[in-house]
Amino acid sequence: MASSAMARGTGIAKRSPEYIQEKMREGKAVIAFTSDGIWAGFCYIETWSHGQYVANSGLIVAPQFRKGGLAKAIKRKIFNLSRQQYPEAKIFGLTTGLAVMKINSELGYEPVTYSELTQDEAFWAGCKSCVNYDILMGKERKNCFCTAMLYDPKDHYEPEETKDYFEKKKNVFDRLLRIKKWKLLKPFLKKETNENGAAGKPKSIFHHLFHS
């Protein structure tokens, strides 16, 4: 997982092999294999705030099986497993990729602000291994490169709505991701240059855009 994230130039909360093994033993993981036993993909379930929040973490597909729909199949399987094990929990995720945003949208996730995620210190501590951790903390955990997405079982749009909306606005989301990265990096680039001498919010971002 760490090697894959490094190759893509994205951040990741690193986990030990023992930690991943424990998730498998607890039945909180989805593992994809070919019919002849070759490993193809993986994802696992995290819980926060005493089970009030669930995250589907560590989604990875072996290089030779990418771009064939396997990531979407694993994501749907782990999402359904999360709903089965924690039916009342809010399921959330952080992503820097438009492809993952698309998959999440097809499941009914909505883009939200960071304030709507768990505030469990253990969750945010997991970001320390991410290359963008300084930016996250510099923004007081209110913003970073990742886009936050949330599925609330008690208050959510239908997957058909979120999917259709994403398809209509995906170019806008792509531009927003690019602008976000530029704006977040700008203060750090300026700091580096200097050192070297040179009223209430809406329910969610999706809710605001959906009705605009």
The answer on pLDDT for 203 being more than 60 is no
Predicted pLDDT of residue 56: 92
Query: How many separate domains does the chain show?
Result: 1
In contact, 106 and 159? CB cutoff 8 Å = yes
d(CA 40, CA 212): 41
d(CA 112, CA 157): 13
Q: What is the mean pLDDT of residues 20-42?
A: 95
Interval 92-139: pLDDT, tens: 998 877 888 899 999 999 989 999 999 999 888 888 877 788 888 888
Q: Cα angle at 51 between 47 and 53, to 5 degrees?
A: 65
Strands (E), the chain: 29-33, 39-48, 53-61, 90-95, 110-112, 147-151
- Provide the mean pLDDT of the chain: 81
Percentage of residues in the chain having pLDDT higher than 90: 43
Give tens-digit pLDDT for 44-70: 999 999 999 999 988 889 989 988 999
CA angle 88, 11, 68 (to 5 degrees): 75
Please say if the pLDDT value at position 7 is more than 50.
Answer: yes
CATH of the domain at 75: 3.40.630.30
pLDDT of res. 183? 60
pLDDT of residue 207: 45
**Model confidence at 2: pLDDT above 50:** yes
Q: In this predicted structure, what is the pLDDT of residue 4?
A: 63
β-pairing, 147-151 with 90-95?
antiparallel
Going from the C-alpha of 182 to that of each of 75, 88, 101, the distances in angstroms are 29, 37, 19
Summarize the confidence of residues 65-92 as an average pLDDT: 95
Tokens of 97: 């990729």
Dump pLDDT digits (tens) for 151-181: 999 987 788 888 887 888 778 777 766 766 6
Arithmetic mean of pLDDT, 143-157:
87
In this prediction, residue 194 has a pLDDT band, given cuts at 50, 70 and 90, of low
Range of the domain at 83: 2-210
Distance CA(9)–CA(67), nearest Å, equals: 19
pLDDT of residue 132: 80
- pLDDT recorded at residue 9: 54
